[in-house]
Structure 1
Amino acid sequence: MKITGKHIGKKFRKNWIFRDLNFEFSSGETVAITGKNGAGKSTLIQIIAGYLTPSEGEILIDGKPIDDPSPQTTFVGPYTEIIEEFTLGEFLKFHSKFKTPACTIEEMAQSASLPLNKVIGEFSTGMKQRARLITAFFFENDLIFLDEPTSNLDAEGFDWWKSQLERFDKRLVFIASNDPGEINVCSKQLSL
């Protein structure tokens, strides 16, 4: 899979956040999107994912314009909604109705050191972030978009995140971040 950005620009009201961005990335790459606060990192990965429309330019997937987010796409950020009334087991079973799991729900929870039968609303913020990351790591996804993925993770959670990320060889992963630990795991970088 190849994602191409041609002359991408985004403005809010009269202010351009970024303009005339050109890039091309392929499956197997992990791409860091970096820049100062307010530079548009989160906005750019949402445009690449198809969740936002650029003000100018176009995103192509394998040479074709992106219309809707692909069902083989996962977007995870610390602000991504999660169903807090569900237990982790219920949440992962629900998610399994839309995407093919790569292993059992029990293996997912064990890998992330999370309890299956506890209500997600009772999780700490770091535990909730690991639950979100499970949807990227343990389900079939060709494209993964991670916005500040290690927010709220402790050292053990960071090590788990990094070990899961290193398993990807055919997926295209975008990470919006300024954190050196997150950037250092990437094979390419696009700075805003």
Structure 2
Amino acid sequence: MSTIEQMPVDTEPGGGDKIPLIELKHVGKQYGNIIALQDINLRVKAGEVTGVLGDNGAGKSTLIKIMAGLHQQSEGELLVDGEALTFGSPKEALSKGIATVYQDLAVVSLMPVWRNFFLGQELRKGPLKTLDANGMRATTMSELSKMGIELPDVDAPIGSLSGGQRQCVAIARAIFFGARVLILDEPTAALGVKQSGMVLRYISAAKEQGFGVVFITHNPHHAYMVGDHFVLLNRGRQKLDCTYDEISLEELTQQMAGGDELEALTHELRR
């Protein structure tokens, strides 16, 4: 069920840039009188990582929910492969190849890795439609191995894996079940340096295999290590929109930290 070969390579007429897998145009979201997002523009292209940065309350969660089909935007357009769409559910988004890996991963800790890999989409066989446990074990091992994840035992409870390993299993699962776009919600937030490195290498590998990745994070260092394009949200507004070549890590960090506010605080504390 590999999706890499199935991924269309879309180009605009006349040999221009690739049409984004997902594009948001002037998207806004209101909850009653509360404006959660306003005038957000975002492009996610095949083979690229788009880093979406922002502190708590910046609007990152609302943005994820719109792209994942949990919520509908109040204004603006969401385009998939150049076609304007409105998702009514996460299932509709997934049918278009858009998969979201949330920070809590939605796994059952006491179940084996292979059960979690096929959770909700189990393989069955025979007239009685019994679970094909051996088939799911073999497929899980094969798919994880393809993505460079080597686990000694897929029968081990997924809760016994490290945080980085669980993140990688969740990403591999999304790809296996048809994702072309991976939306990753703070995948390195609760991880140490070594485990974060594992996830970042995996994000880079997914990019190299042609997937579009939306990397939601509050860590500019992690975003800069794998990102091709950066969008910074601040209180629901888009503060920054630039490519890797247009900004340095120092500048990205300063923008993320508040720019002039951080500089003023630094001078105040050093007096």
Distance 1:5 1:172, change over 3 A: same
Give the counterpart letter for 1:26 in structure 2.
Answer: K
Instruction: Pick the structure with greater CA Rg.
Output: 2
| Alignment of 1:166 onto 2:204 | yes
Partner of 1:90: 115
8 Å Cα contact 1:78-1:147 kept in structure 2: yes
Distance 1:114 1:21, change over 3 A: farther
8 Å Cα contact 1:10-1:18 kept in structure 2: yes
8 Å Cα contact 1:32-1:177 kept in structure 2: yes
Distance 1:143 1:70, change over 3 A: same
Any idea what SS the aligned residue of 2:94 has?
A: coil
Give the counterpart letter for 2:227 in structure 1.
Answer: C
| 167, 188, 191: which one aligns with 1:150 | 188
| Alignment of 1:182 onto 2:222 | yes
CA distance in structure 1 between the aligned counterparts of 2:164 and 2:101, rounded to whole angstroms: 13
Return the structure number with greater relative CO, CA threshold 8 A, min gap 6.
1
Aligned length: 189
Paired-residue identity, %: 26
Any idea what SS the aligned residue of 1:54 has?
A: coil
| Alignment of 1:46 onto 2:99 | no
8 Å Cα contact 1:59-1:65 kept in structure 2: yes
Residue-by-residue CA offset, 1:17-74 (whole Å, 9 max, x unaligned): 2211223332122101112210111211221232221121120112222332133222
| 4, 7, 18: which one aligns with 2:37 | 18
CA distance in structure 2 between the aligned counterparts of 1:122 and 1:150, rounded to whole angstroms: 18
Distance 1:138 1:180, change over 3 A: farther
Any idea what SS the aligned residue of 2:38 has?
A: strand
Pairwise CA RMSD = 2.8
TM-score (norm 2): 0.60
* Stretch moving more, 38-47 or 18-27: 18-27
Q: Mark the runs of 5 or more structure 1 residues left unpaired by the alignment.
A: none
Partner of 2:245: none
Any idea what SS the aligned residue of 1:18 has?
A: strand
| Alignment of 1:69 onto 2:88 | no
8 Å Cα contact 1:129-1:151 kept in structure 2: no
Q: Mark the runs of 5 or more structure 2 residues left unpaired by the alignment.
A: 1-18, 124-135, 234-271
